[in-house]
Structure 1
Amino acid sequence: GQVGSRSPSLNSNNETLEECMVCSDMKRDTLFGPCGHIATCSLCSPRVKKCLICKEQVQSRTK
């Protein structure tokens, strides 16, 4: 029974990796530069001054 109970948590983790770290509603689609991380959707990215993953200053945003 343990294998079955682990599968749903794996699925929800995958969804969490794709959703915006700010609003959790939209998918992540904006690349921060120069670090190259994708942490937010295009609507939330202008509000983010430092990368939510590595805390590096965001100098550019690419959708």
Structure 2
Amino acid sequence: MATKIVYQLNDQGLYVGQATADESPLEPGVWLIPGGCVTVAPPKAPPGKVCQWDGQQWRHVEVPA
């Protein structure tokens, strides 16, 4: 079965790491994306910033305290 790398978010939309999506066994070419994941890779964050998904794109925000 084919897999695809996706990008896991926490409940505030902050990037926390990679996850794996599997291809649907019933619909070839359709990916079963885990909840809280997006398919767009985050950009590299500058020092003191983290990546946050705003629903359409990544943005850099200050590291939460």
Structure 2 length as normaliser, TM-score? 0.25
Structure 1 length as normaliser, TM-score? 0.25
Which one has a larger percent strand, Structure 1 or Structure 2? 2
Which one has a larger percent helix, Structure 1 or Structure 2? 1
